Amino acid sequence: MNEISRRAVLACFAALPTRTLAQGSRLSCMASFSILADFARRIGGDRVDVAALVAPGNDAHVYNPTPDDARRLGAARLIVVNGLGFEGWIERLLKASGAKAPVVVASAGVKPLRGSGHIDPHAWQSIDNVKIYIANIRDGLLKADPDGAEIYRANAAAYIAGLDLLEKEIRAAVESIPREKRRIITTHDAFGYFGATYGFSFIAPKGVSTETEPSAADVAKIIRQIRAEKIPAVFLENVSDPRLMQRIAAETGAKLGGTLFSDSLSPAGGPAVTYVEMVRNNLRELGAALGR
């Protein structure tokens, strides 16, 4: 297990012995965005080279694929996508790339929620769903590289055990926020699964995608709602322009919280280089703005 995995998997799990394979013999895996790439790295360990099409910090909803992306997909031996309509551009790109590699739909088997009339693709915001993602990615790796089966199974089991601890952290963090404060505004509707699972309400001027700009009427409605329901805080998002939220906070007097990571990890050196760090960052920000 490499150093990044060691930091991510919770400290109670001993590192599993893996052989370090030469660069050329590793399985090349392309994930559509950074959160899936992190999952694939945790399970693949040293046997797999993982890269993401949409780099950390960028918004996958509105991504414009490049010719180089088609080349990278064409060269991959395993492709991992979210599904649920998250990557509206992926079908065309797959076709253009001529990719022959199997495509793992990480969300397959998740019970989809709907938000603002559309399927909500942000299923990774609930730990039970992430366990499904991990199982799907593990099975994709097993099929693509049966020689690594033992390692993939062990890494996935260790990661899932770590997720159980992370879920306890989430529940404790939510518990520490007074019930009447568990209502916040975010730029787009990215936390529906988190809200439904852990008891929190997230209200957003944009829908489940960032593709459309909210109308003046949408923003006015949110401002009325914040005032009427005394919603305590407005949060920024790492993939969205902060100005709309800054304006809403200024007009309503709601507290301006920190930055939540919704659809992307942070670039190296940031506070959310892995999924586990992303969840912990979000819990810290929620606690700092809303906690007792």
Site for Zn ion in 187-226 (CB under 5 A): 190
CA dihedral 210, 211, 217, 219 (to 10 degrees): 20
| 87: contact with Zn ion by CB under 5 A | no
| 263: contact with Zn ion by CB under 5 A | yes
C-beta closer to Zn ion: residue 263 or 277: 263
Smallest distance from Zn ion to CB 173, Å: 22
Residues in the chain: 292
C-beta closer to Zn ion: residue 41 or 61: 61
Burial readout 222-248 (b: 16 or more C-beta within 10 A, e: otherwise): bbeebeeeebbbbbbbbbbeeebbeeb
Q: In whole angstroms, what is the distance from residue 150 CA to residue 148 CA?
A: 6
Smallest distance from Zn ion to CB 21, Å: 35
Max Cα distance, the chain (Å): 61
| 260: contact with Zn ion by CB under 5 A | no
Number of residues in contact with Zn ion, rule: CB under 5 A? 2
Interface region with Zn ion, contact rule CB under 5 A, candidates 2-10, 174-182, 229-237, 258-266: 258-266
Which residues does 83 contact at the CB level (< 8 Å), separation at least 6? Answer: 105, 106, 107, 108, 121
Smallest distance from Zn ion to CB 142, Å: 30
Q: For residue 203, give Cα distances in angstroms to 17, 54, 69, 119, 221.
A: 45, 26, 34, 16, 11
C-beta closer to Zn ion: residue 113 or 190: 190
Interface region with Zn ion, contact rule CB under 5 A, candidates 1-9, 49-57, 102-110, 182-190: 182-190
C-beta closer to Zn ion: residue 190 or 244: 190
The H-or-E segment that residue 80 falls in is strand 78-81
Q: Which parts of this chain interact with Zn ion (CB under 5 A)?
A: 190, 263
